[in-house]
Structure 1
Amino acid sequence: MKLFSHHTRQERDWIMYDVGNSALVLLSTTVVPIYFNALAAETTDSAGLVAQWGMAQTVASLIVALLMPVLGSLADYRGNKIKFFIGFFATGLVACFCQALPVSAAVFLAIFVVATVGLNSSMTFYDAMLVDITDDERMDDISSAGFAWGYIGSTVPFVACIALIFGGPALLGLDSMLCTQLSFVITGIWWLCFTVPLLRSYRQVHYKRSEDARAEVLDTFRGLARTMRDIFHDRRLFVFLVAFFFYIDGVHTVIAMATSYGSALGIDSTHLILALLVTQFVAFPSAVAYGRLADRFGTLTMILVAVVAYCGIVGFAAFFLKTATEFWVLAVLVGLFQGGIQALSRSYFGKIIPKDRANEYFGFYDIFGRYASVMGTLLVSVVTAATGSAELGVLSIAILLVVGFVMLLLMPKEHGEPAGA
């Protein structure tokens, strides 16, 4: 394909997995909260819906954060990375299909948690594959391309899903709930199709060696202690992870709660879904541009720009988001910075860690990212439930973004490294 002519086969197949899994990410942040609200609306008020949705996100994030360091360390041994990737991908895929079953709101939420754990865990091993499929010089570009093509590619099944949801009842005579349930089947098939190429071509280049499985398990727990010590003594890596812990909280919380928040404000579901579809189209060129701007101005500089932007986005959501028009504005703003900050955080981290222990380090990267998500969604849920105000819940995460920004400014540089490199 000419679009990928400057990419190797492994780079292209790695990017394609983002096209596959992003379809479920998009569905989970748009249709799924609305579907859950419809299932639970008769027994729960708007504040309760936001609180329950935030708690489900919190539980899923907590599970992933607890699992990934140990499993990530095991995955660093030769041949293990792809095995763990397949295991969690398959778990997420089965749960994705199971969300199509006609069940109660509570059961659906439990299945959603399993699907989210499978998806996000597979993405941890996927992130660690980055060090195997490309080199440091191309890492910003490839990581950004993954997010960019994921955004635009995910719109294909998503458009099919919303066409079915909105057109199915009138054109096909199908129940609207059934149409929504079928969207999980469409999304699961898409995810599977774009995962197969990576499964065929991926080869683990960087790995730890061991003589037997027992030695791997024993070394895993010794290695975790060693890695924690190494991270703590590497000041640049440690401060970056702390900064990441705070600023990615704002990013993940906005992504996870946007549709639920908009729905609770009474914004029509059609506007919510179409506005977030626009986010995907805006995010495509923005993520590509971020990769190129990082080459010119430095990866850290562009991350700082995105953190400042997200502070503005959170303030806008808390103080001005009331109508569908304002939600469209929010969707565009998120699209401008979402992919860039995620892609450059991933690639920057990939550059500064030992390549043969990538999964182990990305396991800790996931801890910082997932516990930030735990804190953010939990904070929104608690503040919203305590005050009865979803607006105050959203505003409560702004301080975390500010702390992350300050920590990035304080991050020590290597000798001779320019600011913002």
Structure 2
Amino acid sequence: MLKSFSLQEKSWIMYDWANSAYSIIISSVILPLFYKSITTGVGIAPNLADSYWGYATSAATLAIAVFAPILGTIGDYPKWKMRLFKSFFLIGVVATAALSFTDDWRLLLAFYMLTTIGFSGANIFYDAFLVDVATEDRMDRVSTYGFAMGYIGGSTIPFVLSILLIMFGEKIGIPRTTAIKASFLFTAFWWIVFTIPMLRNVKQRYFVPASEHIIHDSFARLFQTLHQIRSHKKMFLFLIAYFFYIDGLNTIIHMAAVFGDSIGVVSDVLMIAVLVIPILSFPFTILYGVLAKRFGSKKMILVGIVIYLFACLLAFRMTTAVEFWILAALVATSQGGIQALSRSYFAKLVPKENANEYFGFYNILGKFAAIMGPALYALTSQLTGDSRNGLASISILFIIGGVLMLRTEDN
């Protein structure tokens, strides 16, 4: 599949393969379900446990969001992009491994917050490396293949191995809790091994001249970039639209497992149902890239927004495992496509030598958005006593994002 890509493009794509194991095992399914089983064991109400998870997600994303723009600006200097990428990557894998050594729900939330900071921080610089590895006419293709490979390999293979061990491990003498913790260690190992091509082969081609006063000059450039973004109507409107619709998407990713548990879906059934997402996402993400070449990135992003809006409305009346399977299938059709095309759409708008700086703002909007969505879900669930209302409330984010996206110029 990757024969037509250069060595740097393939190495960049493989990082999606590497960190997607984290996305499904830690962020989306196994850790959330393990957390819910522990909170249930100590008598915490399901909707309250959901709220704690939502607040932890919001707090972690706030921590990285506050520093994203200045980190991105520093990353534009020679060699700093890879240095910062490595630092956050190490935070993420160490905290992921640490999840295997506790049964306390508070410590689980603390380590989960650190993994979120590491994962999200590394992605600032990973996304920005797209301008270094691909020309503008190849960005949509490289970006969508990155997400696609992440889904079929990074998400599916380690997740299948993990749920097989969890579901059948007791037959060979491995307790369920031990199997769950082993999946966290396996995730850290997978993340490390498949990041090696990225570390060895991807180089920073575009950068601003080195400075003797990095911090001072970085803040000066940061304010200048903010002014440029505000004066660039197309970029400004897209970033605001992205702020809302990616918030809705990230909330569904982070809250799907705890939502399914709260409406009574059995955990084993839930894990199998969620497996549908990466399997289906693989061909649909590639399809989004193909269709974007014909119809444009903007139209395909809007298609994904409409599908997610429908999924939110479906969740409002959801009561059975079958309906959860339908929701998972809907999410799968557009999850990778929206994210990949948003990344490449923005990459085409930014000056290459300042890519980190601009992607710092891109990521801060994504991270600040990830604060609002889970908090909205958590607050609505807590006030109404029903997690269905929490997920349904996320629909407003897709509506606002879609309306703003319609106002941007076609790309």
| Cα deviation, residue 102, structure 1 | 2.5
Which residue does 2:168 correspond to in 1? 167
Q: Secondary structure at the match of 1:99?
A: helix
Query: In the alignment, is the contact (CA less than 8 A) between 1:63 and 1:117 conserved in 2?
Result: yes
Query: In the alignment, is the contact (CA less than 8 A) between 2:248 and 2:398 conserved in 1?
Result: yes
Query: In the alignment, is the contact (CA less than 8 A) between 1:311 and 1:402 conserved in 2?
Result: yes
Which residue does 1:344 correspond to in 2? 341
Q: Secondary structure at the match of 1:4?
A: coil
Which residue does 2:96 correspond to in 1? 96
Which residue does 2:364 correspond to in 1? 367
| Cα deviation, residue 296, structure 1 | 0.2
1:410 pairs, out of 396, 407, 411, with 407
Provide the C-alpha distance between the structure 1 equivalents of 2:383 and 2:17, rounded to a whole number of angstroms: 39
| Cα deviation, residue 318, structure 1 | 1.5
Which residue does 1:36 correspond to in 2? 35
Which residue does 1:201 correspond to in 2? 201
| Cα deviation, residue 88, structure 1 | 0.4
Q: Secondary structure at the match of 2:83?
A: helix
Query: In the alignment, is the contact (CA less than 8 A) between 1:259 and 1:272 conserved in 2?
Result: yes
Provide, for residues 248-296 of structure 1, a one-character-per-residue CA deviation record: whole Å limited to 9, x for no partner: 1111111111111001111001111111111111000000010110000
Aligned counterparts, 1:17-416, within 5 A? 17-28=15-26, 29-41=28-40, 42-154=42-154, 155-171=156-172, 173-212=173-212, 215-319=213-317, 321-411=318-408, 413=409
Provide the C-alpha distance between the structure 2 equivalents of 1:281 and 1:90, rounded to a whole number of angstroms: 28
Structure 1 residue runs of 5 or longer lacking an equivalent are 414-419
Query: In the alignment, is the contact (CA less than 8 A) between 1:33 and 1:259 conserved in 2?
Result: yes
Q: Secondary structure at the match of 2:78?
A: coil
Aligned-partner residue type, residue 74 of structure 1: I
Provide the C-alpha distance between the structure 2 equivalents of 1:210 and 1:186, rounded to a whole number of angstroms: 39
Aligned-partner residue type, residue 159 of structure 2: F
Aligned-partner residue type, residue 33 of structure 1: P
Query: In the alignment, is the contact (CA less than 8 A) between 1:49 and 1:264 conserved in 2?
Result: no
Provide the C-alpha distance between the structure 1 equivalents of 2:234 and 2:273, rounded to a whole number of angstroms: 38
Provide the C-alpha distance between the structure 2 equivalents of 1:353 and 1:18, rounded to a whole number of angstroms: 22
Query: In the alignment, is the contact (CA less than 8 A) between 2:211 and 2:217 conserved in 1?
Result: no
Provide the C-alpha distance between the structure 2 equivalents of 1:332 and 1:60, rounded to a whole number of angstroms: 28
Query: In the alignment, is the contact (CA less than 8 A) between 2:46 and 2:262 conserved in 1?
Result: yes
Provide the C-alpha distance between the structure 1 equivalents of 2:273 and 2:120, rounded to a whole number of angstroms: 24
| Cα deviation, residue 169, structure 1 | 1.2
Provide the C-alpha distance between the structure 2 equivalents of 1:179 and 1:401, rounded to a whole number of angstroms: 37
Aligned-partner residue type, residue 271 of structure 1: V
Provide the C-alpha distance between the structure 1 equivalents of 2:128 and 2:337, rounded to a whole number of angstroms: 18
Query: In the alignment, is the contact (CA less than 8 A) between 2:143 and 2:341 conserved in 1?
Result: yes
Provide the C-alpha distance between the structure 2 equivalents of 1:334 and 1:383, rounded to a whole number of angstroms: 21
Q: Secondary structure at the match of 1:151?
A: helix
Structure 2 residue runs of 5 or longer lacking an equivalent are none
Provide the C-alpha distance between the structure 1 equivalents of 2:22 and 2:235, rounded to a whole number of angstroms: 31
Provide, for residues 178-232 of structure 1, a one-character-per-residue CA deviation record: whole Å limited to 9, x for no partner: 11001011111111110001100111001011242xx221111101111110000
Provide, for residues 360-389 of structure 1, a one-character-per-residue CA deviation record: whole Å limited to 9, x for no partner: 111110111111111110001111111111
| Cα deviation, residue 316, structure 1 | 0.7
Q: Secondary structure at the match of 1:267?
A: coil
Aligned-partner residue type, residue 68 of structure 2: M
Provide the C-alpha distance between the structure 2 equivalents of 1:318 and 1:77, rounded to a whole number of angstroms: 48
Q: Secondary structure at the match of 2:203?
A: coil
Provide the C-alpha distance between the structure 2 equivalents of 1:182 and 1:166, rounded to a whole number of angstroms: 13
Aligned-partner residue type, residue 137 of structure 1: D
| Cα deviation, residue 38, structure 1 | 1.1
Query: In the alignment, is the contact (CA less than 8 A) between 1:244 and 1:368 conserved in 2?
Result: yes
Aligned-partner residue type, residue 61 of structure 2: S
Q: Secondary structure at the match of 2:77?
A: coil
Provide, for residues 332-381 of structure 1, a one-character-per-residue CA deviation record: whole Å limited to 9, x for no partner: 11000000000000000000011111111111101111111111100011
Q: Secondary structure at the match of 2:5?
A: coil
| Cα deviation, residue 45, structure 1 | 0.6
Aligned CA-pair RMSD: 0.9
Provide, for residues 83-140 of structure 1, a one-character-per-residue CA deviation record: whole Å limited to 9, x for no partner: 0000000110000100000331101110110011101111111000000000100000
Provide the C-alpha distance between the structure 1 equivalents of 2:316 and 2:372, rounded to a whole number of angstroms: 18
Aligned-partner residue type, residue 242 of structure 2: F
Provide the C-alpha distance between the structure 2 equivalents of 1:142 and 1:124, rounded to a whole number of angstroms: 17
Number of residue equivalences: 408
Aligned-partner residue type, residue 106 of structure 2: A
| Cα deviation, residue 56, structure 1 | 1.1
Provide the C-alpha distance between the structure 2 equivalents of 1:135 and 1:194, rounded to a whole number of angstroms: 24
> TM-score, normalization: structure 1?
0.96
Which residue does 1:417 correspond to in 2? none
Query: In the alignment, is the contact (CA less than 8 A) between 1:96 and 1:185 conserved in 2?
Result: yes
Query: In the alignment, is the contact (CA less than 8 A) between 1:247 and 1:404 conserved in 2?
Result: yes
| Cα deviation, residue 43, structure 1 | 2.5
Provide the C-alpha distance between the structure 1 equivalents of 2:164 and 2:388, rounded to a whole number of angstroms: 31
Runs of 4+ in 1 over 3 A off after TM superposition: none
Provide the C-alpha distance between the structure 2 equivalents of 1:97 and 1:248, rounded to a whole number of angstroms: 28
Provide the C-alpha distance between the structure 1 equivalents of 2:79 and 2:105, rounded to a whole number of angstroms: 39
| Cα deviation, residue 46, structure 1 | 0.9
Query: In the alignment, is the contact (CA less than 8 A) between 1:147 and 1:287 conserved in 2?
Result: yes
Provide the C-alpha distance between the structure 2 equivalents of 1:247 and 1:184, rounded to a whole number of angstroms: 30
